[in-house]
Amino acid sequence: MVPAIRLRGLVKHFAEVAAVDGIDLDIADGEFFSMLGPSGSGKTTVLRLIAGFETATAGTVELGGTDVTAAAPFERDVHTVFQDYALFPHMSVLDNVAYGLRVRGTGRTERRARAQEALETVRLGGFGTRRPHQLSGGQRQRVALARAIVLRPRVLLLDEPLGALDLKLREQMQVELKQLQRDLGITFVFVTHDQEEALTLSDRIAVFDTGRVRQLGTPQEIYEQPTSAYVAGFVGTTNLLDADTSERLLGVRAEHALRPERLRLTPADHAPARPDEVRLPAVVVERIYLGTGNRVHLRTDDGLDLVALEQATGSLDEADHRGEHVTVRFARADVVRLNTDGES
């Protein structure tokens, strides 16, 4: 099938800065695709290249099989939702949503009907006569979405659209975005620096590192099988085992990653390790209550610092467990070998 978006050898330089440094990507029709990476890694620039707001230094952008590298923004069947919403303050909510149709010359009756329908899709059917300043942040975000979907684009580009919302609202909007994307069947390209958001929403994720895609995969692949210390460290918390440590513990001389939730803590004992596991005597340095569990900072007797995640027990036992002697156990199968992407 022809991908909704195809990027080939995409490069964008701003003077000396290679903001985008050679990107090849195929994004499927109807996919929820996220670009995840730290600030400055080139995510917004890629989005702007897709939308046509920037001109590529090299490479091509195809939409639905058509090369649009040289096409103007209005010639591309995509729509962008920006982080700051960019609503017109002096217009009603309904007029804001209908604006794009007015620019396209759609008649008044049809455009009002379609704007109302789009508002109902984002559950703001009763808010058409309000002004943007009379809405909450989450409602303004939904108006920005309605304004995009009313144009029925094949592709929606969203640049950190939930960044300005508080956690509770963000989680609620995440669910709504996902449902909306499924219901409308639109291809979403979603930019975020929030790893949890990317893991929750996406069909696939591209992890960005200084203008390049460091790893591409499903949320499970990115989280469970990171190929580099960069990805393992950016997506979730991880214990990095350097080559020396790995050789000592596992007998394999290569860097490895080990997720905190894979570590088991038991009272100190001297039982021998099973062949499929590693056991290490350790001391609890700090135990931090997280509500859903405890984050436990450990130092093994041979000087390795590890972080473990313990399930919450629900007890109100407030004993200070610092200095407690424990045995740390993990399955060899839970250790992920890194630098399988050919880079360090």
CB of 154 to ligand ADP, least distance (A): 23
34 forms part of the interface with Mg ion (CB under 5 A): no
Name the residue nearer to Mg ion (CB basis): 188 or 330: 188
Q: Which does 45 bind (CB under 5 to 8 A by kind): ligand ADP, Mg ion, none?
A: ligand ADP
SS3 154: coil
Q: Which does 313 bind (CB under 5 to 8 A by kind): ligand ADP, Mg ion, none?
A: none
45 forms part of the interface with Mg ion (CB under 5 A): no
* 255: Cβ contacts below 8 Å, ≥ 6 apart: 229, 240, 241, 242, 243, 246, 337, 338, 339
Q: Which does 141 bind (CB under 5 to 8 A by kind): Mg ion, ligand ADP, none?
A: none
Name the residue nearer to Mg ion (CB basis): 50 or 282: 50
The amino acid sitting at 35 is: M
Name the residue nearer to Mg ion (CB basis): 44 or 181: 44
97: left (phi over 0), alpha (psi -120 to 50) or beta: alpha
* 70: Cβ contacts below 8 Å, ≥ 6 apart: none
Rg of the chain over Cα atoms, rounded to whole angstroms, equals: 24
DSSP 169-236: HHHHHHHHHHHHHHHHT-EEEEEES-HHHHHHH-SEEEEEETTEEEEEE-HHHHHHS-SSHHHHHHSS
Q: Which does 139 bind (CB under 5 to 8 A by kind): Mg ion, ligand ADP, none?
A: none
Q: What is the DSSP letter of 107?
A: -
CB of 44 to ligand ADP, least distance (A): 3
Binding residues vs ligand ADP (CB under 6 A): 14, 17, 19, 37, 39-45
CA dihedral 271, 274, 278, 282 (to 10 degrees): -10
The amino acid sitting at 52 is: G
Q: Which does 88 bind (CB under 5 to 8 A by kind): Mg ion, ligand ADP, none?
A: none
Q: Which does 187 bind (CB under 5 to 8 A by kind): ligand ADP, Mg ion, none?
A: none
Per-residue x/- track, 158-177, Mg ion (CB under 5 A): --------------------
44 forms part of the interface with Mg ion (CB under 5 A): yes
Nearest-CB residue to Mg ion? 44
